[in-house]
Amino acid sequence: MAIQFKRAGIISYSLFLIIVSALMTVLCYHLFVFNTFATDDTQTQALREVSAEQVKNSPIKDDNSIIEVMSYGCHYCAANEENLTEFTRTLPPGAVFKTIHITSDTNGLAAYAPVFATLEEMGLEEKTRDSAYNAIITRNVNLADEQTLLTWLVKNNIDVKQFQATRQSDAVKARLANMAEITRHYDITATPMFIINKRYVVAQDRDFPDFAKRMQQLLTGGK
């Protein structure tokens, strides 16, 4: 009985962190991103440039790259999926676009990072991303809870034993470590964020067509 109570307490606390982080992201975008930048003609506050030393020591390996930092619990990330798919088709030859999940011990939006990393290692992440968004954001399903996750895996025809084995693998641990290092190195606390050429950390401050042009500009050396 005590074990069940303790487990219920852990789950409740996890849900609390997730809800608080989600609300903070929404507030960030409504109060900071959309409102602030709507009244700022220069629109430079959506752009943070890191130091040359940080670029040099970046855990990101690809030079000509855009890294999206997202969360399965992020409404804005889900809403941008189709736009980003189209955007990646317009990138110049040699450019790299990658998606990682925010990963941190103190951010509720990072609760689903192990699920993301495991699905990615299994080669299923892109295929199941929309289902994960829908479950968490639309239906309030907590994929950070083990039993709930197992039910979701079955519904999505994902081999549960293979998932569990992969989740414990060194490859997944390495993915999680790398995502955590990127999150920490670039001080990512909300999603979605975009890291461009290891140098710029960008939040969406305008409608997507214009934002896509802005990212292209930064990718190719403009500012």
- Read off the CATH number of the domain in which 10 is found: 3.40.30.10
Within 13 Å of residue 23, how many CA atoms lie on the same side as its CB?
A: 6
Question: How many domains are there within the chain?
Answer: 1
Q: In sequence order, which residues have a C-beta less than 8 Å from that of residue 73 and are 6 or more positions away?
A: 18, 21, 22, 108, 109, 111, 112, 136, 137
113 in Cβ contact with 103 (< 8 Å): yes
pLDDT in tens, 125-157: 999 999 999 999 999 999 999 999 999 999 999
131 in Cβ contact with 76 (< 8 Å): no
Among candidate residues 72, 51, 74, 62, the one with its CA nearest the CA of residue 119: 72
pLDDT in tens, 20-79: 555 555 454 444 444 434 334 333 358 999 999 999 999 999 999 999 999 999 999 999
- How many angstroms separate the CA atoms of 41 and 55, rounded? 28
State what percent of residues in the chain have pLDDT above 90: 78
Residue 37: domain span: 2-219
Mean pLDDT within 102-128 = 97
